Amino acid sequence: MRKPATTAAWLHLFLLPLCLGISSSCQAQQEQQTTATAVGYTTKTPASGGTGKVYLGREIAAIMSATGGSWLDRDTRQEEENSSKAIENMPLQPNSTVADIGAGTGYYTFQVAKLVPQGKVYAVEVQDRFIEALKERKQELGTQNVEVVKGGNQSLNVPDNSLDLAVMVDVYHELEYPMEMLQAIRKALKSNGQLLLMEYKAEDPDVRIRELHKMTVAQVKKELAANGFRLSRQVDSLPIQHFLLFQKDSK
């Protein structure tokens, strides 16, 4: 519950002189905590597999290292996740421009590229080892409509107003700056562009994924709504993942 203004003012008047009297480092710490709160993030003691950084009540998961790339291309993935059905439900046209954000080894990138022969797929990654793997795979397959892009932790590095679809498959929960990335995606999407999030189902205890690497529909909707997106379609028939398609709210 938010404290009354009078209480907040009293605490400020009491704590600030005390902090200044103890040390200048205390003041710096106070300013740092205030900034973190102002931009929407707080911190806590990290849970297993977590970063300790919290957004809207959810601890952000630690990013999967590129050393786990073989797990992304495991032989059982289609059976476990029914990725072909997920792709069938994507709103793709032959000339669509798509960004696969957190593309990893390109498991989805190169499947989607076949369905947009007159379009383009940006394979966006932040980890150099994945970047190299994507470039090698592109060369091996001779896929001309895939462009490998080095993204940032707050940017996509693709043109504004260029995307028909942005896709994040089991990626959103690891974003270090979810607010900033969602705003970057908004800028990159066309006016009628859409954002697809696929996340492991936290509501299902039988989904054998670490807790911080799963999300509930309610939490996803909460975070996306706070950043100007509304849920337009939900596919519930995937075995272990949510399929949540969002539109930009008009502002």
Task: Give residue-wise pLDDT tens across range 144-168.
Answer: 999 999 999 999 999 999 999 999 9
**Contact in structure between 113 and 97 (CB atoms under 8 Å):** no
Q: Is residue 48 part of a domain?
A: no
226 shares its domain with 129: yes
| Predicted confidence (pLDDT) at residue 64 exceeds the cutoff of 80 | yes
Which range of 24-28, 70-74, 228-232 scores highest in mean pLDDT? It is 228-232
Interatomic CA distance for residues 208 and 220, integer angstroms: 19
Same domain, 72 and 8: no
Lowest mean pLDDT among 21-35, 104-118, 124-138, 181-195: 21-35
Q: Are residues 130 and 28 in the same domain?
A: no
Whole-angstrom distance, CA of residue 99 vs CA of residue 210: 26
Q: Which domain holds residue 95?
A: 66-248
Q: Which H, E and C letters describe the chain, residue by residue?
A: CCCCHHHHHHHHHHHHHHHHHHCHHHHHHHHHHHHHHHCCEEECCCCCCEEEEEECCEEEECCCCHHHHHHHCCCCHHHHHCHHHHHHCCCCCCCCEEEEECCCCCCCHHHHHHHCCCCEEEEEECCHHHHHHHHHHHHHHCCCCEEEEECCCCCCCCCCCCEEEEEEECCHHHCCCHHHHHHHHHHHEEEEEEEEEEEEECCCCCCCCCHHHEECHHHHHHHHHCCCEEEEEEECCCCCEEEEEEEECCC
Asked if 22 and 81 sit in the same domain, the reply is no
Instruction: Tell if the pTM clears 0.85, that is, is over it.
Output: no
CB 167 within 8 A of CB 218: no
Are 116 and 20 members of one domain?
A: no
Tokens encoding 198: 């696929």
CATH of the domain at 115: 3.40.50.150
Residue 60 lies in a domain: no
Give yes or no: residues 115 and 16 share one domain: no
Residues 4 and 102 placed together within one structural domain of the fold? no
Q: Among residues of the chain, what percentage have pLDDT more than 90? A: 78
Quick one: pLDDT at residue 251?
A: 60
- Count of domains observed in the chain: 2
Distances, alpha carbon 51 to alpha carbons 37, 89, 92, 144, 203, in Å: 16, 32, 35, 37, 22
Do 108 and 189 sit in the same domain of this protein?
Answer: yes
In a domain, 219, yes or no: yes
Q: For residue 22, give both structure tokens.
A: 């103890």
Residues 82 and 31 in one domain: no
* pLDDT score, position 73: 79
Burial class (CB in 10 A: 0-12, 13-18, 19+), 222: middle
In this structure, are residues 245 and 195 in contact, taking their beta carbons and an 8 Å threshold?
A: yes
State the pairing for strand pair 120-125/97-101: parallel
Backbone angles phi, psi at 48, to 5 degrees: -60, 125
Do both 5 and 79 map to the same domain? no
Same-domain pairing of 131 and 186:
yes
